[in-house]
Amino acid sequence: MPDYKWPEPGTTALLGKRLNRLDGPAKVSGAAKYTYDLKCPGMLYAKMLRCPYAHAKIVSMDTSAAEKLPGVAAVHIVQGPGTEIHWADDDIVAVAAVDEPTAEDAIGRIKVVYEKLPHLVDERDLQKAGDRAKRSAEQVTGEPDQAFLDPDVVVIEGEYGTSVVTHCCLEAHGQVVEWEGENVTVYPSTQGVERVVGQYAEGLKVPAANVRTLMQYVGGGFGSKFAADRWGLACGELARKAGKPVKLMLERKEELEVAGCRPSVYTRVKLAAKRDGTLVGWQSEAWGAGGPGGAGSPPMPYIWAIPHQRKVFSSVATNTGPARAWRAPNAPQGCFVTMCAIEDMAAKLEMDPFDLVMKNNSLLGVRAELYRQELLKAEELMEWKKKWHPRGDRSPGPVKRGLGLSLHTWGGAGHASNCEVTIHPDGSVEVSLCTQDIGTGTRTAVVIVAAETLGLPVEAIQLHIGDNRLPSSGSSGGSTTIGGVSPSTRRAALNALEQLFNKVAPSWGVAPDQLEAVGGQIRVKGDPGKSLSWKQATTKLGVMPIKEMGKQPGPGELNSSGTAGVQMAEVSVDIETGIIKVNKMVAVQDCGLIVSMKMSESQVYGALIMGIGTTLLEERVMDSITGRMLNANLEFYKLAGLADIGELVVHMWTDPEQQKRGPIGLGEGPMVSPGPAIANAVANAIGVRIPTLPLTPDKVLATLEKGGLA
Amino acid sequence: MKEDERKPTKPPSPRGMSRRKFLKGVGVGSSVLGTGILGGPLLPEAEAQAASAKVFGPSAVPIELTINGQRRSLKLEPRVTLLEALRDQLELTGAKRVCDRASCGACTVILNDVAVYSCSVLAIEAQGKNIQTVEGLARGSELHAVQAAFVENDAQQCGFCTSGFVMSVKAFLDKHPNPTPEQVRLGLGGNLCRCGTYAGIRKAVMDAAKALPASRNRSGQGGNPNA
């Protein structure tokens, strides 16, 4: 049996190096074909009639005028009379036509009568939520009442919140569906090529064995693209009815309203600490909303094992598009509340929050020492001690500067994965697994692992992904992909190599385990005279290729979980205009063994940039009167642009201890801290806390009116 | 009666103003978007005023476009945008429809040296101009310096905004061959990325600027020969 482990640190040819993204050339030249780009012969285009009300009952509908319109091929009622609709823009009727304008014209001819019902779309005032709020049981740890009554503790009280933000994938949700008899091929825009198979089978009432799903590129998911979705099944029904392939992609407005959001959280917090900064007590009343299903309870206090706690959470059901997993579900909200309260405590104690965080290091559990080291590194990269000043920049002029920090964690253990490696007698190599590259670099990572293991250049590997007929390898979510596909690929490649060694070793009269694959050669360890080129070696296979599987989990320690991470932000706030500029952010991030350095860094840069957007700009704005989203477009749902991001410093933590842990997912951890790091920097700059995200200029000015430097 | 008191009620239009309806409403050659190329505004009152003007459509009309140096004949309704013509009729799918209203830049192509949002240009307006798309930038397998710099600096993740960004950067560098960081910051603010690839893009712009003088004379085929 092969020795299943990762190469020794410092011995790798490809692993952890600065290789380019393998599908980079396809993406920069427009050659990468996304679901949205696909066109099959005879393909029809579908549009959806959507409910204009946030809460309503369908009384009656008439689709006859749409059906009669020339060019319309199929009409499918998604939700018919009698159905109660719980959010605006929910799917009602889908139409497939020869082109998009005809489908749009047909939608306009459908008549639906609704009975309007009372709606709730604004959860900011918990009192007004009434029976829409479901209060969970109070959680108590230690003796919080006594902790807060202790005359020697300092107590701060604060209100902290984050608004609902959307996923806003640039490639909207959607798919192309094509039938051939009882078999159906779906081209979804998804984070789970295999995961949606069962959903299509069930929804379209065909055996799962009849469903094929294919996808090579997806234009963003961020947690929102795991389901076939009602519109996917409607697309399937239209295609079946019309007898032609149908494409249905959401419009931008629909993407923002119904295709996923991150729940809000609002809190009233009390935090108690000894005068030396030791955190002793936490008390929080929190609530949040994420659509009809309410919201999950964010972890509070986040990562700090404060000994005495009392907390309660209410989930508010609103008539808004349903929440979906959004990069590190619940963690950014919990981290924001916790790290803001800690910063406010430091200000009250007149301590540098860096010192307060260091002082409480022991509350960070198993990764306390790693956090300590990462904090020191971040301090160095930010020059925190040199730049930090007590709360409120007293320097003259309207532009105030400040520093803030935050810490985070994420699991990132690998999901189950199966990989098949084929070595052909002509030397060519195929690696096959049903994973998908959602922009994280999975394609590149799998090839790096296979090439490293086989001692080949990356160009020698042909990779097959994005097809449910390939070996099962999980969805891309929860930062589980890299920790799943890397070990399965490594094991498959080691297994295949063992078979190749078995064929080659006899000619040298050595045991197969005395061989190694390095630099495009198969050779005897420590005997440079005995070597064959890869191609010479594989000709010994005769006519049959080697096909070997590798599994995760499997033998050997190739995988672990649990990461730390520290971020610091430096901002300028103009107290006359309220405009905040992020001057610099520093991220120090571990993620076990790094497979691809460039793509790992890109993940962290991306998290910082997305975090700047969600902190300063992004907010789903609902209109309480109409129950509709007011900013379901890219003019007023503001994403960060190139001008918004400042200097970004990313430091990947790569000590030998980390390399022994195997690859750990990185998509989510670094997404957790930007909000509190920036918000704390703003409080440090202007002397007061802006309680809720996003930190828009109007909020800065309104907060300054109540106190602070203005 | 107030909107929210009606019950049961007929729905208002389920859609907001789309780019297509907007363009269709103002018409090409009207006082709003007048280019002087074509007459035929579609608003009834404007139509009356311009009764003598040449009217195109509403059914499909033959047009000719010059794309990446090649002349292409198409037949399309005057309401079809350049983006739709490229994507649906010519299968040039590098330009993407994301916001559909000139906010995000994913549909950027270069029209006579100027980066434009092709979702907000009618195909018939683009006649007689040099249209350059991302597909025309590389020479065979040799990437244009901007594309190569994007790959080298990992200025892409999911890649959906990348085609548009590459075209914006190409047009930007043609105008600002030695840009300052501040020029980059402001000059490329018209493209949005959701994955957060701006750090790589900033570096790619600077790298491409350095690499370009050497390759400037052989910028992608279909570029304006007078540039």
Q: What is the pLDDT of residues A525-569, one digit of tens each?
A: 999 899 999 999 999 999 999 999 999 999 999 999 999 999 999
Does B112 map to a domain? Answer: yes
pLDDT at B5 over 70: no
When CB atoms are compared, the residue of A23, A33, A633 closest to B101 is A633
pLDDT, averaged across chain A: 97
Q: What is the pLDDT of residues A280-323, one digit of tens each?
A: 999 999 999 999 999 999 999 999 999 999 999 999 999 999 99
Residues A171 and B96: their CA atoms lie apart, in Å, by 8
Lowest-pLDDT range of A315-319, B43-47, B163-167: B43-47
Chain A interface includes B195 (CB < 8 A): yes
pLDDT at A418 over 90: yes
Contact B95 A30 (CB under 8 A): yes
Strand order, beta sheet including A515-518: A515-518, A521-524, A527-533
ipTM of the predicted structure? 0.97
For residue A697, is the peptide bond before it cis, meaning its omega torsion is within 30 degrees of 0? no
Does B3 map to a domain? Answer: no
Whether residue A486 contacts residue A449, with contact meaning beta carbons closer than 8 Å, is answered with: yes
Contact A641 B192 (CB under 8 A): yes
When CB atoms are compared, the residue of B9, B188, B200 closest to A116 is B9
Q: Are residues B144 and B131 in the same domain?
A: no
Residues A201 and A177: their CA atoms lie apart, in Å, by 13
Whether residue B167 contacts residue B134, with contact meaning beta carbons closer than 8 Å, is answered with: yes
Q: Are residues B76 and B126 in the same domain?
A: yes
CB contacts, 8 Å: A222 with chain B? 194
Does B223 map to a domain? Answer: no
Q: Show Cβ contacts of residue A523 under 8 Å, excluding neighbours closer than 6 positions.
A: A515, A516, A530, A531, A532
Q: Show Cβ contacts of residue A411 under 8 Å, excluding neighbours closer than 6 positions.
A: A478, A479, A561, A562, A563, A665
Nearest Cα neighbor of A389 from A4, A42, A709, A125 is A709
Chain A interface includes B120 (CB < 8 A): no
When CB atoms are compared, the residue of A27, A52, A168 closest to B14 is A52
Q: Are residues B118 and B172 in the same domain?
A: no
Q: Taking a contact as any Cβ pair under 8 Å apart, which residues of chain A between 273 and 332 contact chain B?
A: none
Q: Half-sphere exposure of residue A303, counting CA atoms within 13 Å on the CB side?
A: 32
User: What is the pLDDT averaged over residues A15-21?
Assistant: 97
User: Chain B: nearest CA to A523, how far in angstroms?
Assistant: 33
Q: Are residues B57 and B129 in the same domain?
A: yes
- Report the domain count for chain B: 2
Under the banding of pLDDT at 50, 70 and 90, the label for residue B46 is low
Q: How much of chain A, in percent, has pLDDT values that exceed 70? A: 100
pLDDT, averaged across chain B: 80
Give chain A's domains with CATH numbers: 24-32+415-552 (3.30.365.10), 35-117+173-249 (3.90.1170.50), 263-411+561-706 (3.30.365.10)
* pLDDT confidence of residue B34: 34
CB contacts, 8 Å: A607 with chain B? 196
Q: Show Cβ contacts of residue A257 under 8 Å, excluding neighbours closer than 6 positions.
A: A87, A88, A89, A321, A628, A629, A632
Q: Are residues B40 and B128 in the same domain?
A: yes
User: Number of Cβ pairs closer than 8 Å across A and B?
Assistant: 216
Q: Are residues B64 and B125 in the same domain?
A: yes
pLDDT at B42 over 70: no
CB contacts, 8 Å: B198 with chain A? 605, 609, 640-642, 645
Chain B interface includes A630 (CB < 8 A): no
Chain B interface includes A109 (CB < 8 A): no
Chain A interface includes B11 (CB < 8 A): yes
Q: Are residues B97 and B151 in the same domain?
A: no
Please name the helix (run of DSSP H) or strand (run of DSSP E) that holds residue A140, with its range, or none: strand A139-141
When CB atoms are compared, the residue of A25, A34, A633 closest to B99 is A633
Chain B interface includes A171 (CB < 8 A): yes
Last residue of a domain, one of B101, B135, B169: B135
CB contacts, 8 Å: A112 with chain B? 11
Q: What is the pLDDT of residues A616-634, one digit of tens each?
A: 999 999 999 999 999 999 9
User: What is the pLDDT averaged over residues A420-444?
Assistant: 98
Whether residue A709 contacts residue A687, with contact meaning beta carbons closer than 8 Å, is answered with: yes
Residues A398 and A645: their CA atoms lie apart, in Å, by 21
**Nearest chain B residue to A51, by CA:** B14
Residues A213 and A215: their CA atoms lie apart, in Å, by 7
Q: What are the structure tokens assigned to A120, written together?
A: 């709730």
Residues A287 and A134: their CA atoms lie apart, in Å, by 9
SS3 B172: helix
Chain B interface includes A113 (CB < 8 A): yes
Chain A interface includes B98 (CB < 8 A): yes
**Nearest chain A residue to B192, by CA:** A641
* pLDDT confidence of residue A676: 98
When CB atoms are compared, the residue of B96, B157, B163 closest to A606 is B157
Other Cβ atoms less than 10 A from the Cβ of A557: the count is 12
Q: Are residues B72 and B124 in the same domain?
A: yes
User: What is the pLDDT averaged over residues A181-195?
Assistant: 98
Q: What is the pLDDT of residues A233-284, one digit of tens each?
A: 999 999 999 999 999 999 999 999 999 999 999 999 999 999 999 999 999 9
User: What is the pLDDT averaged over residues B18-27?
Assistant: 46
pLDDT at B222 over 80: no
Sign of torsion, CA A589 A591 A592 A595? Answer: negative
Q: What is the pLDDT of residues B49-92, one digit of tens each?
A: 555 567 777 889 999 999 999 999 999 999 999 999 999 999 99
Domain extent, residue B195, equals 137-217
Q: What is residue B86's DSSP assignment? A: I
- Determine the residue among A18, A23, A29, A110 to mutate to test chain B binding: the one whose Cβ has the most chain B Cβ atoms within 10 Å: A29
Q: What are the backbone angles phi and psi of residue B148, rounded to the nearest 5°?
A: -60, -40
Contact A251 B154 (CB under 8 A): no
Does B148 map to a domain? Answer: yes
* pLDDT confidence of residue A53: 98
DSSP state string for A80-125:
-TT-EE-STT-EEEEEEESSHHHHHHHHTT-EEEEEE-------S-
Does B226 map to a domain? Answer: no
When CB atoms are compared, the residue of B98, B134, B197 closest to A30 is B134
Which residue is listed with tokens 């001692």? A455
Kindly report the CATH number assigned to the domain that includes residue B161.
Answer: 1.10.150.120
User: Chain B: nearest CA to A226, how far in angstroms?
Assistant: 16
Contact B162 A642 (CB under 8 A): no
Kindly report the CATH number assigned to the domain that includes residue B53.
Answer: 3.10.20.30
Chain A interface includes B159 (CB < 8 A): yes
Contact A52 B11 (CB under 8 A): yes
Contact A37 B87 (CB under 8 A): yes
Nearest Cα neighbor of B157 from A480, A481, A222, A215 is A222
Q: What is the pLDDT of residues A338-389, one digit of tens each?
A: 999 999 999 999 999 999 999 999 999 999 999 999 999 999 999 999 999 9
User: What is the pLDDT averaged over residues B157-169?
Assistant: 98
Q: Are residues B194 and B182 in the same domain?
A: yes
Q: What is the pLDDT of residues A485-519, one digit of tens each?
A: 999 999 999 999 999 999 999 999 999 999 999 99
Contact B196 A39 (CB under 8 A): no
Does B1 map to a domain? Answer: no
Q: Are residues B29 and B106 in the same domain?
A: yes
Chain B interface includes A608 (CB < 8 A): yes
Q: Give me the numbers of helices (H) and strands (E) for chain A, helices first please.
A: 18, 30
β-partners of residue A527 are: A524
User: Chain B: nearest CA to A450, how far in angstroms?
Assistant: 21
* pLDDT confidence of residue B35: 37
* Strand A246-249 versus strand A174-180 pairing type: antiparallel
Does B41 map to a domain? Answer: yes
Chain B interface includes A637 (CB < 8 A): no
* pLDDT confidence of residue B121: 97
Chain B interface includes A710 (CB < 8 A): no
Does B152 map to a domain? Answer: yes
pLDDT at B41 over 50: no
Q: Are residues B112 and B148 in the same domain?
A: no
Last residue of a domain, one of B135, B158, B192: B135
When CB atoms are compared, the residue of B104, B138, B159 closest to A439 is B159
Q: Contacts from A142-149 at CB under 8 Å and sequence distance 24+?
A: A142/A307, A142/A308, A142/A309, A143/A308, A144/A281, A144/A282, A144/A283, A144/A308, A144/A309, A144/A310, A145/A310, A146/A308, A147/A272, A147/A280, A147/A281, A147/A307, A147/A308, A148/A270, A148/A272, A148/A281, A148/A283, A148/A308
Last residue of a domain, one of B135, B167, B185: B135
Q: Are residues B32 and B128 in the same domain?
A: yes
**Separation in Å, CA B174 to CA A497, B136, B216, B219, B220:** 50, 16, 9, 10, 12
Nearest Cα neighbor of A161 from A345, A312, A407, A336 is A336
